[in-house]
A and B are shown apart, each in its own frame.
Chain A
Amino acid sequence: MTMIHKAPWFWAWVAAIAAFCATWSLSAGGAGGTALAVAALTFGSFSVMTGLGQMLVITMGPGNTDLSIPATMTLAATLSLKLMGGMTGSAGLIVLAGLVSALAIGAGVGVANFALIRLLRIPPIIATLSASFLYQSLAIWSNRGLRIKPPQVLADFTTGRALLGIPNLAWVALIISFGFWVLLNQSGFGRRISAIGQNPRAARLAGVPTARVSATTYVICAIMAGLTGFLLACFSGGAALNMGAEFLLMSIAVTVIGGSSIAGGNSNVPGIWAGALFMYLIVSMLNSYGLGAGVRLLSTGIIIIAIVAAASGRKARL
Chain B
Amino acid sequence: MRSVSPRLVLPVLSLTVLIAAVFWLQPRAMSYVGINLLFNLAVPIALATVAQMIIIMVNDIDLSMGAFVSLIACITAAILPTDPALGIAMLVGCVLVYAALGALIEIRQLPAIVVTLGMSFVWSGAAVLILPSPGGTAPVWLTAIMKAKPPFVPVAIIASVLIATVAHLIVMRSSFGVKLRALGGNARAVSRSGRSTVLLRASAYGLAGIFAMLAGMALVGLTTSGDANIALRYTLLSIAGVILGGGEFTGGRVSPVGAVIGALTLTLAGSFLSFLRLSPDWQIGAQGAILILVLAARLVVRQAEKRS
Contacts and interface: CB of A to CB of B under 8 A. Distances in A.
Contacts of A138: 285
A137 B239 contact: no
A316 B288 contact: no
B198 to A, nearest CB: 12
A121 interface: yes
A65 B116 CA distance: 14
Interface string B90-127: 00000000000000100111110111011111111111
Interface stretch (B38-46, B79-87, B165-173, B291-299): B291-299
B119 A305 contact: yes
SS of B interface (majority): helix
A79 interface: no
A204 B159 CA distance: 49
B61 to A, nearest CB: 7
Given A65-B113, A129-B236, A130-B240, A301 B121 contact: yes
A248 B235 CA distance: 14
A300 B134 CA distance: 23
A134 B122 contact: no
Contacts of B286: 137
A301 B120 contact: yes
B280 to A, nearest CB: 8
A: contact size bracket: 35 or more
A256 B108 CA distance: 14
A298 B125 contact: yes
Contacts of B287: 133
Contacts of A132: 288
B234 interface: no
A203 interface: no
Contact of B121 (A62, A116, A249, A262): A249
B114 A133 contact: no
Contacts of B20: none
Interface of B: 61, 104, 107-111, 113-115, 117-129, 132, 236, 239-240, 243, 249-250, 279, 281-289, 291-292, 295-296, 299
20 contacts: A116-B292, A120-B292, A120-B299, A130-B291, A131-B288, A133-B285, A134-B292, A141-B282, A248-B117, A249-B121, A292-B128, A294-B127, A301-B125, A308-B114, A309-B110, A312-B109, A312-B110, A312-B111, A315-B109, A318-B109
Interface of A: 62, 65, 116, 119-123, 125-126, 129-134, 136-138, 140-141, 144, 248-249, 252-253, 256, 262-263, 292-302, 304-305, 308-309, 312-313, 315-318
